[in-house]
Structure 1
Amino acid sequence: MKGCCVCNSSDVIELIDFGAQPICNRFIKSLDDDEYKHPLVLGLCNACGLVQLINPFPASELRPPYNWITYNEPQDHLDYLAGILSNLPDINENSAICGISFKDDTLLLRMKKRGFSKIMRLDPEQDLGINDGWTGVETIQDKINLDNAKEIVNKNGKFDLIIVRHILEHVYDLPEFMRSIRELLDPDGYVVFEVPDCTKSLEYFDYSSIWEEHTVYFTPATFKNCLEYGGFSVEHFEIFPYQMENCLVAILKPSEEFDNRSYNGKILQDEKNRAIAFSHEFSRKKTLITSYFSDFKTNREKISFFGAGHTAIVFINIFNLKDYIECIIDDNENKQGLFMPLSHLPIISSSALKEKDIKFSVLSLNPDLENKIVEKNRTFVKNGGEFLSIDPKSKLSLYHKLKTSSFEDINLSKFNDEVYYSICDVAKIRRKDIEWMKERSMDNKRKRCRICVHKDIDEKVHEMFIIHTKGAYVRPHKHINKNESLHVIEGSADVFIFDDSGKIKEIIKMGDYLSGHEFFYRINNPYYHTLNITSEFLVFHETLKGPFDRSDTIFAPWAPEENDRKATEQFIEKLVLSKKTFFQLKKIVIKVNNNEYLLKTN
């Protein structure tokens, strides 16, 4: 790569050189087979903050050798997205809609069900001149060029709506790709781009997310910047949350103006800081992970990976773990009998958990499937086996097992298993402190942990960094003569605010700054309130008026006590159901008011 693939700046620095790596889709049939390898080098553009591969693998080498290799993209948000697209100004049943690749089929089908009939998807052979049978996005992206776009327009005319899902992160020549999409688009039309959000991968130091097929690693800021460089203005932007990685969706119109002045300064610096932290942490994580796996070998305990996908391949190879692993388990019969690229570990069925006396199995698949795998193999767990996960966001994450700092290292005094106090004159909280708190929250009964940065309970202002895990029950309560503020740092939750009788007054969807939801609230009146955690962890900064007096906190008499587990689970279930009803009623009120009817409520 001569310069940045978006802004063309020559100021692209190397972040991490992972060394010569194989192509993840090239499973080995015989240990005597030759393997193609290429340097996997991650870089950062200092000018625009985009994380990208330096000198990517040749696109021609990435074509899958097996036609059974498939990749699934998130779909739970597509009904909602189809609704937004259907209601765009000037989009109607006569609008011409085009999908770029097979990854657009599921959204095109939803548009068809909504009454749109002028729908087509580019044909690889007829429209792009691809004649090699199985066609992946690595081949399609190479054929989306200005010449082909002009021929497509000559045959079909220009399109009112173009859908481009999960291909932009594979593109080698982004300016040419953008020019081609603009050529296909009517001047008054819309284009929808969808890409994976790599923010969590970078912030959680998830190195298995780096993949030779992804040339760029977008965050919301760098994604928008890329689209504006490509000659588009953002009309609508959404972040759809998923466990593995969020989806970024932008609805655009062509634009002749480009002004990225708002992108400079703090936004750009935040992007660079995140990427540099990802780079600096790699060697430390490699040492910790290698040491952890080495302990298994020392204790003669067998370990397997569960899932022979590209995340497992990358994780094993970049951390050089092949000598510590017995086998790779995957119940896809197409993969069984083959060997993993570079590590040459055998791929076998899940029966190996018992047959090979595996002690630990590391889950290396979509985090949404982890609970299903554990449940399906509960005999393994019952017999003393343990599942871990390479996903740092998972409750089963092996990152929780790594040797990290103690509370002495981060200058804390322990009040109890849940509460710690900073003992520094200048209190500071680092990322590794948050990770340490997550470990503590998993180990205590109430599944929570806090660091108090005020010195003691008599301080007039109490400031706390708090972690709650999903499923933690916070009994509805209110504070007398005190206000309370909460700022979400990581994760998501619903805040329920009640009147004295227990009727819901308000529900606040909370998330971090990039989520698009509220990330801060302050309660100025003594309302009963509670949190329902909707992510694996909720990390937040809470400020409360001191000094601490237990009698200032009043618990709701209509809510169960924390020690009644069955009652608390039922209460949380009712809250979740009430949330759906609450928002449905709000929609009814809006609709009635818009039609100038008066809806009276108690």
Structure 2
Amino acid sequence: MMQIDFGELALSNRFVEKKSPQGERGYYHPLVLAQDHLGLVRIQTPIPYYEMRPRFNWLTETEPSLHLNDTSAMINNAIGGGDKVNVLGVSYRDRKHAGILESQYGIKEISYVDYRPHTPEEIFKIETIQHLITHKGELLGEENGQFDLMLANRILHHVHDPIAFLSGISNMLSDDGFIYFEVPDCQRGFSERDYSIIFEEHTLYFTKTSLCNLLESAGYKVQWCFEYMYPAENSLSILVKKKEIRERNFFCEKDSFQEFVDGFSTTKKNTQHFFEKIAQNQRICLFGAGHHGGTFINLFELSNYFEFVVDDNQNKQNYYLPGTTLEIVSSDALTNNEVDVCFLSVSQVNEENVMEKIKSLSKNKVQCYSIFPKSPFCFPIENEA
């Protein structure tokens, strides 16, 4: 089994307050990625779901959605549409998709799984939902019934036991029903050696091939699977039905993950070399206190090169970036001539706007780079062996 051990990393959503007792470290966990016989890359030992749950209600989610009109049209064609179709959403992440099916295709019977009898949580976060479907799928089927169409947007890559989850969710699907899944496509991340894709909440890292392999092995027949292109990370959309015979022979692609594994030590060394060089006479900050930036700094062990982290979410400004002692501050710090270089870990869609903001605040005194390898603003890492 091909694998890579990244060592112990900080949980990205476990921020430590600046006023916390000295020595408080947050939550750390060992992170090993391994590829199985299906070609699926997964975290070998996921963090328990109850530890993974966000502790703060001000942490937000932003998922790509421009493709949902297209997938809604294809789903409507597959199921025949009409007001007799009953639809079940498994989480809050399905509401936008369900709204399109209702407004554009007249599908009115839309329900959502009620998890309240099984958890004291007031807001059902995705980690809890995947756990309940995995372990209480049969009971949820009895309580909610069976549906013609199930929507499962952006949950499958959070699952700890995918075969058990896919068995559990099938209890809420009619014999002739369809399930729609959507997950991030990690093919580009592997090929481009973008190690910021690593995120402990994402326990499974799919390519188009491994996604189809997993679902076929779990007793589903793929109706269609499409890749939608986005600047940072593509999206995979797939529609499946139940089938009686499970596939046992699979094509397993290994090259891209092998390159990802083999390239890590060199990429880390070259990245550290770049920061060591510029830190000799320039002060550095990070813009964006999200999980991409935290992974970049912690995975490559760069925290000593940074002065602070900028983020205009006021709630984060009382904390340190997880895994570091870097204070999170507002963008006002960029007006005080405190840094010379700023690295962006914001969405690539927003990079140009953020760069313009930084130039304005610093009066063009701060140079900007992106942490993402294929961004046009990426820092010029040397390709030394």
TM range (shorter): over 0.9
1:205 is paired with a residue whose SS is: coil
Matches within 5 A, 1:388-403: 388-398=369-379, 401-403=380-382
- Maintained 8 Å contact 1:31/1:344: no
Task: Please state how far the C-alpha of 1:93 moved relative to its aligned partner.
Answer: 1.3
Quote the Cα distance in structure 1 between the aligned partners of 2:77 and 2:21: 55
Task: Please state how far the C-alpha of 1:356 moved relative to its aligned partner.
Answer: 4.4
The answer for the alignment partner of 1:272 in structure 2 is: 254
Quote the Cα distance in structure 2 between the aligned partners of 1:351 and 1:182: 51
Question: Residue deviations 1:274-304, cap 9 Å, x none?
Answer: 11111111111111111111112212x1111
The answer for the alignment partner of 1:286 in structure 2 is: 268
The answer for the alignment partner of 2:128 in structure 1 is: 139
Identity %: 34
Matches within 5 A, 1:184-223: 184-223=172-211
TM-score (ref. length: structure 1): 0.61
The answer for the alignment partner of 2:237 in structure 1 is: 249
Q: How many residues align?
A: 381
Task: Please state how far the C-alpha of 1:383 moved relative to its aligned partner.
Answer: 2.4
Matches within 5 A, 1:281-360: 281-299=263-281, 301-360=282-341
Call closer, same or farther: CA 1:31–1:351 in 2, change over 3 Å.
farther
The answer for the alignment partner of 2:347 in structure 1 is: 366
Quote the Cα distance in structure 2 between the aligned partners of 1:391 and 1:381: 23
Quote the Cα distance in structure 2 between the aligned partners of 1:31 and 1:365: 30
Question: Residue deviations 1:103-138, cap 9 Å, x none?
Answer: 111101111213211101112314xx1212233111
The answer for the alignment partner of 1:551 in structure 2 is: none
**AA at the equivalent of 1:336:** Q
The answer for the alignment partner of 1:36 in structure 2 is: 27
The answer for the alignment partner of 1:168 in structure 2 is: 156
The answer for the alignment partner of 1:507 in structure 2 is: none
Quote the Cα distance in structure 2 between the aligned partners of 1:85 and 1:131: 34
Call closer, same or farther: CA 1:381–1:354 in 2, change over 3 Å.
closer
- Maintained 8 Å contact 1:225/1:260: no
Quote the Cα distance in structure 2 between the aligned partners of 1:367 and 1:192: 27
Quote the Cα distance in structure 1 between the aligned partners of 2:50 and 2:142: 28
What residue ranges of structure 2 are gaps of 5+ in the alignment?
Answer: none
Quote the Cα distance in structure 2 between the aligned partners of 1:234 and 1:260: 15
Quote the Cα distance in structure 2 between the aligned partners of 1:345 and 1:242: 31
**AA at the equivalent of 1:141:** Q
Quote the Cα distance in structure 2 between the aligned partners of 1:90 and 1:76: 23
- Maintained 8 Å contact 2:140/2:171: no
When the two chains are superposed, the root-mean-square deviation of aligned CA atoms in Å is 1.7
Task: Please state how far the C-alpha of 1:225 moved relative to its aligned partner.
Answer: 0.2
1:253 is paired with a residue whose SS is: strand
Aligned residue among 86, 94, 113 for 1:122: 113
The answer for the alignment partner of 1:101 in structure 2 is: 91
The answer for the alignment partner of 2:49 in structure 1 is: 59
In our comparison, the structure showing a higher alpha carbon Rg is 1
Quote the Cα distance in structure 1 between the aligned partners of 2:49 and 2:330: 32
2:16 is paired with a residue whose SS is: coil
TM-score (ref. length: structure 2): 0.94
The answer for the alignment partner of 1:593 in structure 2 is: none
1:331 is paired with a residue whose SS is: coil
Call closer, same or farther: CA 1:19–1:150 in 2, change over 3 Å.
closer
What residue ranges of structure 1 are gaps of 5+ in the alignment?
Answer: 1-11, 406-431, 433-602
- Maintained 8 Å contact 1:296/1:324: no
- Maintained 8 Å contact 1:21/1:40: yes
Q: Going by fraction, where is helix more abundant, 1 or 2? A: 2
Moved more, 59-68 or 216-225: 59-68
Which protein has greater RCO, CA pairs closer than 8 Å, 6+ apart? Answer: 2
